[in-house]
Amino acid sequence: TVLWVAYLLGLLAAGTLMALYGRSLYERHIKDEWLVDQGGEGDVTSIAEAIARARDGATIRIAPGTYAESLRLDRPLHLRPAAQDSPPLIEPATGPCIELAGVGGSIAGLRLMAPAPSDPADPPVPCIVASGRGGMVENNYVGSASGPAILVRSGADPVVRGNTIEDAVGPGIAVTSGATGEITGNTIGSVAGSAVVVSGGASPVVADNTIEDSGSVLYAEGARGRFERNRIGASTASAIQVTSGAA
C-alpha cells in the first residue's frame, strides 16, 4: 500500500511538473498571440507581463482600458488593440509610454499619452522612443504633456507612419543622434512646440505629412535627409527653418 501511494504521488508530481514546464515551453516557443485584459478575462492583466512572457514575433492584443505602464520592447513583439473601434490608452504616471529598443518591434492602433516630468526643471518626457532597428510605429494617437510625442534617436531607423499627434506640448516628432528611417503620412496638429525637429546628424525621409496649427519644421545641427510632399498650414512660427549646419 505504501509503495502504491508513493507511486501515485510520483505520478502526480510528474504531471504537475509537465503541466508547468509544458506551459512555459508552449508560451515561449509556440503561442503567437496574447490577450491583455485588466479585468482578468485575458491571458494576463498587464502589458509588461505579456512582453516578458511572449515569444519573439508574437502579437500582444490589448483590451480597452487605461494602462498606467511605462513599457520597453527589446524584442520583436507587436502591440495591437484587441478591439479596433476601442483602442486602449497607455498613460504612465512617470517615464515614456514605450521604448522600441530591440530589433523589429511594432506598435499600431493604440492611444498613448506621456506625462509631464514630476519636477518642471527636469527634461521633457517623450511618449514613444525609437532607439532600436527596424521598428514600426503606425496608426497611433500620440501625445505628451511635455514632448516630444515621438522621439527617434541613437541611430534608429523606424517607419513612423499614419500616426495622429494632437494637442502635444511638442515637439511633435524629433529625430536625432544619427537616426534615419521614414516619417511618412502622419498628421500633426495643435502642437505648441516645433512640429518636426531633425538634428544631431540625423537623416530621415520626411514625406507626405500634414502639419496644421503647429510650430516650425526645424533642421539643425548637421541634419540631412529628404523633406518632400508635406503640407504645412497655419504655422504658428516660420513654416520651415534650416540652420546650424544642416544640409
DSSP assignment of 169-235: SS-SEEE-TT---EEES-EEES-SS-SEEE-TT---EEES-EEES---EEE-TT--SEEES-EEES-
How does pLDDT run across 122-153, given as a tens digit for each residue? 999 999 999 999 999 999 999 999 989 999 99
pLDDT band at 30 (very low <50, low <70, confident <90, very high): confident
Tell which residue, 233, 180, 183, 238, has the closest CA to residue 210: 233
Round to the nearest angstrom and report the end-to-end CA distance of the chain: 87
pLDDT band at 10 (very low <50, low <70, confident <90, very high): low
How does pLDDT run across 81-97, given as a tens digit for each residue? 999 999 999 999 999 99
Cell numbers at residue 147, please?
514632448
Query: What pLDDT, on the 0 to 100 scale, is given for residue 16?
Result: 63
* 191-201 mean pLDDT: 96
Query: What pLDDT, on the 0 to 100 scale, is given for residue 21?
Result: 56
- Where is pLDDT greater, at 61 or 5? 61
Instruction: Report the amino acid identity of residue 41.
Output: E
Which range among 29-33, 92-96, 143-147, 163-167 shows the weakest confidence by mean pLDDT?
Answer: 29-33
Q: Distance between CA 26 and CA 54 in Å, rounded?
A: 10
* 98-127 mean pLDDT: 95
Residue 3 reports pLDDT greater than 70: no
Query: What pLDDT, on the 0 to 100 scale, is given for residue 15?
Result: 59
Q: What is the mean pLDDT of the chain?
A: 92
